[in-house]
A = this chain, B = another copy of it.
Amino acid sequence: MITSMSNPRIKEVVQLQKKSRVRNQMGVFVVEGIRMVREAPPDRLVQVYMTEEFFDRHGAELPEGIVSPELVSPQVFTHISDTRTPQGVLAVVRQKKRQENEILCLDAQGKCSVPVHILILDNLQDPGNVGTIFRTAEAAGATGIYLSNDSVDIYNPKTIRSTMGAVFRMPFAYVDSVPETIRKLQEQKVQVYAAHLKGKRTYDAEDYTVPTAFLIGNEGNGLRKEVADCADTWIQIPMQGEAESLNAAVAASILMFEVSRQRRKGSPSCPDSRQPLAKAASNRLTAVTARP
């Protein structure tokens, strides 16, 4: 059992929790809690740390074939944990790097092979917002997420927590130039919409049964002009009262679930007015509830 804070592996985990640079140099990140550790793909687990107490109580709930866990003292665990009330288990997990083109779901002929449903996050800074967007994107059936290189690090511990595991499953890539990415999407006949304060079209009047991408801008400043100008269409969500804007994750969620709604129904508004999308049939009817 590791009982010393100056153990080099313990020091390394602390660095991984705190520093984006260290995470990216080593190509790994840290997840905490039994739920996240169980959802991590087993082939990407590098090391699992837990307290003896946790092992005695929950060892049986760990995935089979897990790399032999490293036991640490409660004091050491509190030291390496990023949460206020640590559960007593965390894992170091390998990052999965995807090429920018992978998000486009290109087939052997270099054509977009599914009706993609993509988010492009331009300079988002709030870890909770980005995590919530990943979580909601998975539920809404989004096919991938691009993030501008100056957006918050998805492997930030707070972002990881907010994804509720979607970080393991949602295809994503950081990109150097958002305008360049938009151009590639447009070449593949993806309709690119900018969620914009000055949008003239209402979001629910557009047809999202075709390949669709949404641009979501920074929490304080909205979309950068040079990015917004690349979109095919500027849309807005009609707002009442004196509200001036919506939270970035809320706006993204409303747009993504409008895509989901239309693809289930096969059209923007009226059932049976178009051919239903074959892809939409893969919906899994589960549920809505309130989780943190």
- Give me the interface of A with B, judged by CB distance under 8 Å: 39, 124, 126, 128-129, 132, 135-136, 138-141, 162, 164-166, 169-170, 195-199, 202-204, 216-220, 222-223, 235-255, 257-258, 260-261, 264-265, 269-271, 282-292
Contact = CB atoms under 8 A, between A and B. Distances in A.
**Interface residues of chain A: helix, strand, loop or mixed (majority):** mixed
Number of copies: 2
Contacts of A124: 290
B197 A247 contact: no
A250 B132 contact: yes
Contacts of A286: 197, 236, 238-239, 243-244
A38 to B, nearest CB: 12
Contacts of A291: 219-220, 222, 244-248
28 contacts: A135-B247, A138-B242, A141-B240, A141-B241, A164-B244, A165-B242, A195-B290, A197-B286, A197-B288, A204-B261, A217-B289, A217-B290, A219-B291, A222-B291, A236-B288, A237-B257, A239-B287, A240-B283, A240-B284, A245-B291, A246-B289, A247-B292, A248-B291, A249-B250, A254-B257, A258-B261, A269-B270, A269-B271
